A and B are shown apart, each in its own frame.
Chain A
Amino acid sequence: MTETALASVDLRKVYHSRGAPAVEALRGVTMEVRRGERVALLGRNGAGKTTFLKIASTLLKPTSGSVALFGIDVVAQPDRARPYIAVVPQEGKPFFHLCPREQVYTYLRARGLSRETAQSRTAESLERMGLTEVADRLSITLSGGQRQRTMVATVIATEAPLLFLDEPTIGMDPFARRDVWASLRALTQKGSTILLTTHYLDEAEVLSDRLYIVEHGSVLVSGTAEELKRSVGGTLKVTLANGASQVDRFRSFGECVTDGANLTVVVLPHRLGELMELAVRSQLTATVGPVTLEEAFLRAVGRSIDEE
């Protein structure tokens, strides 16, 4: 098995539908994920994350370009690639008339695992995801978050070499999200590789070794969360409520990003006092905080991740 878990080169996807203009969902995506890495695709809704994941997980043919998983071309040889992967699809649901224990166990059996392995992995995975108490209740009686945890537990239990997780923690409470993060970390320590999509900035920052920011079907920037934050040009951010109209007065302090009526200025600590004085003179309310991935995203994309 090669050290590269996933490599895509100039991947393009155009959707054609009758009576509607063609939609270019991917515009030449090139990326690489190394074995054992956790990599996040970060982007707004419709950025192309799911399309990329579907192509890479053998569920969709690209218009052009290539994707290889562990050196296997997924376009030409999807059957060879499939045993290496497992997928939590976006909006996927467990069978409503199975309980989590049955869901995980039968899924593992369908993947060819032995009874003993399937049983032990089922118990372990359900416990990790905090589902032991509801393990024997039908999924139809579980909350949305518990169902999503069941999906993640099922896929985690496969210990597949490469896991694709499309918005894996959507609908989960903060505690459950942390359980998922811990489980995914443990899984990569065992040697699995994870590619996930998310539009939760904290999840991308906490969980991923590297991330790709995607917009309009293209990768805009990539790197570690720290690298991306450093690229913003400062360590502090000052948010000025209703300051967007006065952006020109603050440009000399550093990177300025407008988000609606608000203005965010990225500044180095030694210039903070000066900036605050100007904010007071300009009668603007200022909030100071550390630079986060949100600023890196705003800088790269020009819009907030939640903006439609």
Chain B
Amino acid sequence: MRSEPALRAFRGTTAFLWTEVLVQKNERLAMVTAMLVQSVILVFVYILNPGLLGVAFVGAILFSTFAMGQRVLNEAAYLRIDHKSIDFYLAGPLAPEAYFLGMSLGILVVYIPPVIVVGVLATLIVPLTLATGLLLLGLAAVLWVFSSSLGYVFSTFFRDNRAIWAYSSLFFNVFGVLVPVFYPLGLFPEALRPIVLLMPPSAAAALVQAAIGVTSLTGPQVALALGGLAVETVAIFLFAIYWARRTVRGV
């Protein structure tokens, strides 16, 4: 396969994407709960400090695509451990890359509608121009690539679903909620800002916040956020592609 054109490794992606869509569409409650954290935070912000609602809406959109990685993690691990799906699907012509991408895209397709609703609401509250809107959209997409790749890679290290639920919630909430995603970077301790600018969700949030004038970033801070996000996303995506194939025969 490696000697064949790279695109052939992705053959079957659409078919597996469709499989995942069919699977997920029957779990409507899961789709609703996928927006739970964001919705609760938006309500809290509205009650406690309505002035921050615009920033919180931006954070909700970014967090939503970031949290899709948690879905990928849970789904990939559950299917591998409980359903033996790696044995079932990958001892055959479906390429491991197509399995990973199909699953990630399927989850995106199913979980994106509520994000679009939040996005539409955001346009009513946040002063988005075409440029800032496209920036938000692009960064949300980058976060989806990053977190889906990370989620798939993480999923391969677990042998028990009970452990996954705890660790995946912890990871995605710490890196998606605690850091300045739903609130301005300026409210975060200054000494620790370089660290959060290296974390994709808060880096993306800071860049959008700067674009809509909520946060001011210095040139080096923009470079750090943008560069870090790009390097980390490309690296984890390429690693996930490699790892998907590598782990067909176990970790």
Contacts and interface: CB of A to CB of B under 8 A. Distances in A.
Contacts of B250: 59-60
A95 B94 CA distance: 17
Contacts of A158: 92
B91 A87 contact: yes
Contact of B19 (A59, A88, A106): A106
B162 interface: no
12 contacts: A58-B91, A59-B86, A59-B250, A82-B90, A87-B87, A92-B87, A95-B19, A98-B26, A107-B89, A111-B93, A112-B94, A158-B92
Given A98-B22, A98-B23, A109-B15, A89 B92 contact: no
Interface residues of A, number: 37
B87 to A, nearest CB: 4
B190 interface: no
A138 B92 contact: no
Contact of A87 (B26, B88, B98): B88
Interface string B77-104: 0010011111111111111001000100
Interface string A50-77: 0000100111110000000000000000
Interface string A146-189: 00000100100010100010000000000000000000000000
A111 B12 contact: yes
Contacts of A87: 87-88, 91-92
Contacts of B27: 97
B84 A86 contact: no
Given A80-B1, A109-B19, 13 more contacts: A57-B91, A59-B86, A85-B92, A86-B92, A92-B88, A95-B19, A97-B22, A97-B27, A106-B18, A107-B89, A110-B98, A112-B12, A112-B94
A78 to B, nearest CB: 8
